Structure 1
Amino acid sequence: MPTKKELRQHILQLLKKKDPQEKLVEEQQLYQQLFDLATWQQTNSIGITMSMPQEINTLPIIQTALSQNKQVYIPKTVHRELNWLPYNPQQLEKTRFGILEPTGSPDQAVQLNNIQLVLVPGVAFTTTGYRVGYGAGFYDRALTNYPGKTISLVLPEQQVTGLTPDPWDIAVEQLLMLN
């Protein structure tokens, strides 16, 4: 069994090589699954990252949420923790890792427990909801006592078997996958 680091590198390579048109079609199917969920429809606030090119594009999700008058919060990393700030497209900057994060101050942040739904990013996922992220543990720490709902959208290349979770890993409640 490969290590998490090896698995992460392998899946990221697969995603980078993915046909853009195929990815777009799969994203549309996953968006529709998400928007059809009662959880989505009943949610007034979501936490979501700004996606990287190889990830599922989160901008259509953000735009749909805003059009449905949902509050959208984007994480900003501060001292190895995630601060959740209101989404404002004019207040985003690239971090040294190439991720778009809010530029707002920490006093604008809301507590994660006040966000009803978090769309959890990841590189690889088991069918039981365990995930391999980018290796810093931000989401596992943040979700430890989170009472809200968690969902991940998973492309076929991201589905893995045989991954043994570490004791600190937090499973995502619901995975949306393609059949």
Structure 2
Amino acid sequence: MEKKEWRIKGKDLLRSFSVLEKERIEEAIHNQLFQSELWSSAGVIAVTVSLPDEWSTKPIIERAWAEGKKLVVPKCDPKSKRLTFYSLTSYDQLESVYYGLQEPSPVTSEAISKEEIELLIVPGLIFDHKGYRIGFGGGFYDRFLTDFNGITVSLISEKQLTTKLPSETFDIPVQHIITEKKWLRIQT
């Protein structure tokens, strides 16, 4: 299968979960993350603001705030296809942009450097056991990851894990994958 076909399959898969199944998986994934050394050792955590079909990041955002961690979220520049992360201390700092995405407003949020991010939660649709992923398209995260030195993790369901995906030279695998059943440390 080509990446485009994998992307369609991944979106269909995320939409296929019942509300109860989605909540059960999210709770298990979040618990695995919150109990991990990745979480406890990170002071600055980067995560997207999830859309309804994605795994909810609201518990991650609110847990980071409650624990006094610095929480940062991305703003996409569609022209350059680059991400800039901004500190988020309140949902009031978010604005609705294209495709219904919620992103930080540069007027009310402080941009932070890539070097400050200790743990980056990377979104995606389908992943393989080597950490390669099929994302939502656009290559924003692959561009960001080219010189990123922090730790990367993706939070997914077992159903989003496959044996092997097509990858290209510019694709960068994540270092860790957390599912509702296990934690995979990727050997790179």
TM-score tier, shorter chain, comes to over 0.9
* Alpha-carbon distance, 1:106 to partner: 9.9
Q: How many residues align?
A: 178
Q: How high is the TM-score relative to the length of structure 2?
A: 0.90
Contact preservation (8 Å) 2:86, 2:110:
yes
* Alpha-carbon distance, 1:163 to partner: 0.9
Secondary structure (helix, strand or coil) at the match of 1:169 reads coil
Secondary structure (helix, strand or coil) at the match of 2:8 reads helix
Identical aligned pairs, as a percentage? 35
* Alpha-carbon distance, 1:9 to partner: 0.6
Question: Which of the residues 160, 164, 171 maps onto 2:162?
Answer: 160
1:128-155: CA deviations, max 9, x gaps? 1111101100000101111110110011
1:93-118: CA deviations, max 9, x gaps? 22212211011249821111111110
Which amino acid letter does the alignment assign opposite residue 145 of structure 2? L
Secondary structure (helix, strand or coil) at the match of 1:29 reads helix
Contact preservation (8 Å) 2:126, 2:161:
yes
Distance in 2 between the 1:38 and 1:107 partners? Answer: 28
Name stretches of at least 5 consecutive residues in structure 1 with no aligned partner: none
The 5 Å alignment of 1:40-55 reads 40-55=39-54
User: What does residue 73 of structure 2 align with?
Assistant: 74
Contact preservation (8 Å) 2:3, 2:134:
yes
Contact preservation (8 Å) 2:32, 2:180:
no
Name stretches of at least 5 consecutive residues in structure 2 with no aligned partner: 182-188
Contact preservation (8 Å) 2:93, 2:108:
no
Kindly report the root-mean-square deviation, in angstroms, between the aligned alpha carbons of the 2 structures. 1.5
Contact preservation (8 Å) 1:11, 1:157:
no
User: What does residue 27 of structure 1 align with?
Assistant: 26
1:34-90: CA deviations, max 9, x gaps? 011112101111010000111110000110011000000010012311111111310
Question: Which of the residues 146, 149, 152 maps onto 1:147?
Answer: 149
Which amino acid letter does the alignment assign opposite residue 170 of structure 2? W
